[in-house]
Structure 1
Amino acid sequence: MASPNKDLSRRGFIRRAGAAGAVAAGAFTSANAATAAQGTQRKARAKGVDYDVIVLGGGFAGVTAARDSMKNGYKTLLLEARDRLGGRTWTKQFAGHHVEMGGTWIHWTQPFVWSEVQRYKLEVEETPDGTIDPGAELRVLVEGRCEVLTRTEQLMPVLGAINKYFADVGQYWERPYDAAFQWNDLLKADKLSAAQVIEKMQLTPVQRVAVEAYAAGLSHAPMEHVSYLENNRWWALPGSSMTALHDSCGRYRFKHGTVNLINSMVEDGKPEIRLSSPVKSVEDKGDHVIVTTANGERVTASAVIVGLPMNVVQNVQFSPALDPLVAEAGREKHAGTGIKLLIRVKGQLAKTRVSTVAAETHPLPFIATYSQAADHTILVMFGPNPKLIDYTDKAAVQKALRDYFPDAEVEAVDHHPWTDDPYARGTWCNYKPGWFVKYYDHFQKDRGNVFFGQGDHGEGWRGFIDGAIGAGGAAAQRVKTKLG
């Protein structure tokens, strides 16, 4: 991590960070944050409180809520447990490339994040980048052999099987931003897992592997833990086609990293930010809220916005207590428990974009080309189980990768263990079977002066960068309505 610079103004820091291709907001240290906030001399509107609004969590939900609260005229403090902003997004360097260890892809079908792209005139680029022909190749590991599918007549049965898996999407998600519109139909299918639906389909071995890998890849979890409704929601959001879903969830990314948007939002709103400040408790006293950090610091506000991941929010002591079912869901944890692995391989594996699929029990069940240069290829792998092998071991990863590419030489690997991360305890959020009936009505419900704007909940692209921005912005608007 870079050492503090003598010029610690927020504008100076962000300019340097952008010029250097900063490693997420990880280069934004606690010392930087404390000093950067000195330029904000706004006073709280209400008497007897330190701030109008305190925001918990510095992911996209929290940063959006803090920016918007400042623009709404409120003195705002953002508390983040990590030593960086970004939450489950994280831009860093890997093998000579800017890569994303967490949330990555965006698209104009995602309205909240794309409006930010337009607002700040941010550049996007396509995945994969590099000198790659426009064709595509699919490798399927099935019954001990690797089948290479390149021709249309080979690929169509696989695509047909995936389309069949999503054939009933209109029955549940005609309006994917409005679960209530087909609520009764949702309830009928609520207990269905991806595994149960696939089991009933008549598929060839190749088709079955492809559909299983696709379903598990979307939800980043073993298929029995994946809600079939959640897979359908993904399919419906961009327009109910595989091309649209691929473009929305795997094609376009920020040219200068997700950090570019985080830094733009911080520079625009200029909230006070305190990093390395995990929150211990939140006490709503009726006319004000007291927030106590893990180091014992107490700060007060008229309102608090919670932007924490659902799997960790129950670790904060709320008074009045958190909704018991919200706490229970956090302890149970959502389905996103997998691993995202970056692999640098010597040379060019293929002249085209390559995707590979295998059974979810394989250590590398879903791989795609991330980037390519003259002497190497960067692959990105999504798997539902981060414990199948030691993913820090290049030799172990190379052995698994050679099931697809017999001559592959792995030069480097990298990942972040999100499921072990105390401030995440999971990857992107997908609900488990039965969660709509049990929990849906309890999520994202404000209580007194405590407002919930978590990206893991809500309608539309929840669990995505887009959903986090939408949730944080909506919470800030509700605070504005409350405070006036």
Structure 2
Amino acid sequence: MPAEKNTPSVLVVGAGFAGLIAARELEAAGFDVRIVEARDRIGGRAWTDRRLGGHALEMGATWVHWMQPFVWTEITRYGQKIYPSPDIDDAYWVGDGVVRRGTEHELDTALARLQEKIFEGSREFFPNPHDPLAVLHDPATPPEIRERFLRADTGSVLDCLREAGFGQADIDLADSYWSAGYQGSTATASPLMAKHWAALSDHRSSLMDEQTLRFKLVNGMRGLYESIAADLRADIVLDTPVRRIDHSPTAVEVHLENGTVERADAVIVTAPIGALRHIEFDPPLSAGQRKVIAEGTNSVGLKIWIKVSGRHSIIAGAPGSHPISLLRSEYFLDEENATILVGFGSDHTAIELDNVDSAQKALDVWQDDLEVLDCAGHDWVADRWSGQTWATLRSGQFFDGWSHFLSSDSRLRFAGADYARGWNGVVVDGAIESGIVTARGLINEFTGVPGSGPGTREAPFHGSADAH
């Protein structure tokens, strides 16, 4: 029950960035907040852990940037510091079955002209990238742009290269980049997501790389999410999965797997799309929401940390048919005469994250002098509480997917990187944005702000997709 008769109560499901931020916003507005978390830790898909001999490594989200407005505000608020990933000496990439070698600059130059083609239309489609479906609900949008926007959510992200006559070596290079970026097959990847990333990066591939692969937190993601949690008055109850949520326009009942029932005026669910299948909803979610949950996102890939003998300053790429699509040096351990590399692939079943022989086989694709000493990672796809890595979009899901979770006719709300308008799915910035927007929506509803009642939050997005 609410702490006081006139004090609204909200239960937050999940203690990742979205849940922690939503709780902080609600507490600041005087709400009674409780947080339940299925895992035995906070952070969600951000998890700084010690692996490979006690080194602090990010099992999930890693990179941040000052042009990601929401996370940068939190970095500033809590006095966190950043530092760059190392510059690279040698680049290797597989194209048309041949291992090519050059400098990182030469690799970037080869990739840049492919990205320019992939990014075509990004300026027209996303005049404001933090309002990604604006062209669908803005009456001033020319019909021709609207139609091209919808067509751009069909097919594959690499179709434009094939149609333009690029050779297999070029297509393989782009495939290596986007197999890692989409964390899944490029054959099922929405072309619009790549264009949206471009718009969030001033339509420049170099800036996109800098935002997503360059700067890390000195104290790790742990330093940030623990700082946010320390500001909360609410208890965070760990090891407490949710089984069922009963929701109405005025209240909710949340049934926990331990048999207890939590009652509140509203609930914010921050579980990723891939984990929602483990929660029963009564009444059931909308047809659009159930369709997205059944399909899943494009995010079935992997992230792996690999320690190799000696010092190797490398970046490497290979098409998504290989276990690792993108590999780069992250830490030079001079005292151990070793290097820690980070790798990404499109299929979490293609490599055993803690198996040295499996990692060695993956690295042998590029060169035979990389001796694997140890490897580690977390299988987010197999993890019941995520069911995916970061949320990247299948073809058709950019306008008929995540936006279905932005409106509600009850006191059930969703928040998280999967449902963000800006950096949707891929970085912590989107999780923080979504936590703020969702919490403020509830605050406005309870305080009687006009037009903020159930069913109105982000309704233009949802309505435009349905209208089509």
TM-score (norm 2): 0.87
1:180 aligns with 2:140: no
- Greater shift in the superposed pair: 312-321 or 341-350: 312-321
CA contact (8 A) 1:363 1:388 kept: yes
Distance verdict in 2 for CA 1:208–1:439, change over 3 Å: closer
Counterpart mapping for 1:301-380 below 5 A: 301-350=264-313, 354-374=314-334, 375-380=337-342
Distance between the aligned counterparts of 1:105 and 1:458, measured in 2?
Answer: 17
| Residue aligning to 1:102 | 60
Distance in 1 of aligned mates of 2:352 and 2:277: 30
Q: Is 1:45 the equivalent of 2:14?
A: no
* Equivalent-residue separation in structure 2 for 1:271 and 1:217 (angstroms): 37
> RMSD across aligned C-alpha pairs, in angstroms?
2.1
**Aligned equivalent of 1:92, options 49, 59, 70:** 49
Alignment-derived partner of residue 359 in structure 2: 397
Compared CA separation, residues 433 and 97, structure 1 to 2 (3 A): same
Q: Within 5 A, what are the aligned runs for 1:97-246? A: 97-128=55-86, 134=87, 136-150=89-103, 156-183=109-136, 184=146, 185-246=148-209
Deviates more, 1:233-242 or 1:168-177: 168-177
**1:407–1:441 distance in 2 versus 1, CA, 3 Å:** closer
Q: Which range moved further: 276-285 or 56-65?
A: 276-285
Output aligned runs, 1:401-416, within 5 Å: 401-416=363-378
Is this contact kept in 2: 1:46–1:52, CA < 8 A? no
Which of 284-293 and 340-349 deviates more?
Answer: 284-293
Q: Give the C-alpha shift of residue 236 in structure 1.
A: 1.4
- In structure 2, C-alpha distance between the alignment counterparts of 1:215 and 1:462, rounded to whole Å: 16
Conserved 8 A contact 2:251-2:411: yes
1:450 maps onto 2:412 in alignment: yes
Query: Which of the residues 273, 279, 287 maps onto 2:242?
Result: 279
Q: Helix, strand or coil for the counterpart of 1:175?
A: coil
Instruction: Measure the CA separation in 2 of the matches of 1:83 and 1:435.
Output: 32
8 Å contact from structure 1 (residues 192, 229) kept in 2: no
How far apart, in 1, do the equivalents of 2:330 and 2:182 lie? Answer: 19
- 1:152 to partner: Cα distance: 5.7
Shift of 1:154: 7.0
SS in structure 1 of the partner of residue 392 of structure 2: coil
State the AA in 2 paired with 1:370: E
> How far apart are residue 67 of structure 1 and its match?
1.7
How many correspondences in the alignment?
Answer: 433
Aligned partners of 1:198 and 1:212 also within 8 Å? no
Match of 2:35 among 52, 55, 78: 78
Deviation at 1:282, TM superposition (A): 1.6
Amino acid at match of 1:167: E
Structure 1 contact 149–155 (Cα < 8 Å) conserved: no
Identity of matched residues, %: 28
| CA spacing shift, 1:400–1:458, aligned 2, 3 Å | closer
For residues 154 and 408 of structure 1, do their structure 2 counterparts lie closer, same or farther at Cα, with a shift above 3 Å needed? closer
1:459 aligns with 2:421: yes
Q: List runs of 5+ in structure 2 lacking aligned partners.
A: 137-145, 448-468
Distance 1:214 1:154, change over 3 A: closer
2:357 maps to amino acid: A
Partners of 1:58 and 1:343 lie apart in 2 by: 28
1:433-472 CA-to-partner distances (Å, cap 9, x unmatched) read 1124433552221332222223201311121211111111
Q: CA deviation at 1:479?
A: 1.5
- 172-181 or 263-272, larger mean C-alpha shift: 172-181
Q: Distance in 2 between matches of 1:439 and 1:157?
A: 33
In the TM superposition, residue 234 of structure 1 has moved relative to its aligned partner by 1.1
Read off the aligned partner of 1:481 and give its amino acid letter. N
> Is the Cα contact below 8 Å between 2:95 and 2:168 reproduced in 1?
yes
Q: Once the 2 structures are TM-superposed, how far is the Cα of residue 155 of structure 1 from its aligned partner?
A: 5.5
Distance in 2 (CA, whole Å) between partners of 1:362 and 1:369 is 18
Q: Secondary structure at the match of 1:238?
A: coil
Contact kept, 8 Å, 1:446 with 1:452, in 2: the verdict is no
- Letter matched to residue 452 of structure 1: F
User: CA deviation digits over 1:281-309, x for unaligned, max 9?
Assistant: 22235543211101111121111111111
CA contact (8 A) 1:339 1:384 kept: yes
For 1:45 and 1:434, the matched residues in 2 are separated by: 45
Matched to 2:110, the amino acid is P
Amino acid at match of 1:125: Y
Distance across 2 between alignment mates of 1:121 and 1:325: 41
Q: Give the whole-Å Cα distance in 2 for the aligned partners of 1:289 and 1:280.
A: 13
Letter in 1 for 2:198: W
Q: Is the Cα–Cα contact under 8 Å of residues 68 and 269 in structure 1 kept in the other structure?
A: no
TM-score (norm 1): 0.85
Per-residue CA deviations over 1:129-187 (Å, capped at 9, x if unaligned) read xxxxx454321123443211128667633432232322332232232112233231321
Shift of 1:198: 3.0
CA contact (8 A) 2:406 2:419 kept: yes
Q: Is the 8 A contact 1:310 1:330 kept in 2?
A: yes
Kept in 1, the 8 Å contact 2:270–2:414? The answer is: yes
Q: For residues 213-237 of structure 1, what are the alpha-carbon distances to aligned partners after superposition, in whole Å with 9 as ceiling and x for unaligned?
A: 1122211111111111011111210
Instruction: Give the corresponding residue for 1:253.
Output: 216
Q: 2:13 maps to what in 1?
A: 56
Distance 2:33 2:108 in 1: 53
- Is the contact made by 1:284 and 1:290 (CA closer than 8 Å) also made in structure 2? yes
- Residue aligning to 2:140: none
Deviates most, 257-266 or 447-456: 447-456
Structure 1 segments (4+ residues) deviating >4 Å: 151-155
Equivalence for 2:466: none
